[in-house]
Structure 1
Amino acid sequence: MAEELIIAQASKAEKYTTLLPQVQALCTGEPNLVANLANIASALKMTFDFFWVGFYLVEKEELVLGPFQGPIACTRIAYGKGVCGSSWKQNETLVVPDVEAFPGHIACSSESKSEIVVPIRKNGQVIAILDVDSNALNDFDGIDAQYLNELCEWVGTHCF
């Protein structure tokens, strides 16, 4: 078990390429979903100093708050509502440069300014969502989408 992360002082892409194998090693062999999701959220927050990082788990027609790092959050989000519910419904990653401009945005924190939401799938079905918020506008891009999609694909096949 790792006691600390090696955090690259480099470009965003280099940080992700350093982080992802560490996260995989940290979770490999640990069967507890909550422990793994908690460590993944912590690793992402530590590496990138994101405002909020967490998971929502699909339960019937709602997303229910799972492990996260950051200020308190919305506990339940309906299917198709807000950025998280929309990502679930559309089964696709959503990069939102300005959350105030997103129709139906659910303001769990007024400090959140931009967001990326990535579905986690098992057997093609969305089973959870990774939600990452920033307190800066336009903080996420294609690099985040690429690497967070890669991470979530791994999480869906190895942690659930």
Structure 2
Amino acid sequence: MSRAMTAAQVIGLGEYLNPEFDPATLTVAQLLGVLGYHNIRFPTPYTKPKLVQLFLDEVKPKAARFKKDRLKKENSAASDDGITDGITGKPLSGATKPRRSSRRFSRAPSDDDEPPPRPDPPKRRRSSAQPSLGGTHKTIARAAAQPAVIEESEPEEEDPPLRKVGRNKKSVSERYVRP
């Protein structure tokens, strides 16, 4: 068995029911899937050798019965054969099949039809700010402070830079001096 197969695929193929099958070729996950599918309880702290032994003890002896059940399920697919309509007496399987062609081909193509014009591709928007390449932190901060687009109708007024207000060292030390 291939390691790439899932437990469901292993069960679907049913090769594990063959008498010459070696359960050691299955992975732990595949063994757990097979045992769970057949309602076989496995030990909670399981290892691969324990699961292989359980497979040999529980699944291998019942493989013929599992194979027979599998064939019954495959051959008992539901069908309308032999079922008739109660009113008309006609078989149900004689009903018309649903139409499966697309509507696109329902009308014959004509030569004078022009292909519909394709819409123009969406236009890309361009930003007005120019990218700045490299530079230091100061140049980036200065570039961010200036507006990218300046309107000509409004003159810009520059504010003088604000000064920090600090305490005078003398005034602080004079307060705490006691006479």
Category of TM-score, reference length = shorter chain: under 0.3
* TM-score under structure 1 length normalisation: 0.24
Give the number of the structure whose alpha-carbon radius of gyration is greater.
2
RCO comparison, higher one (Cα < 8 Å, 6+): 1
* TM-score under structure 2 length normalisation: 0.22
**Structure with greater strand share of residues:** 1
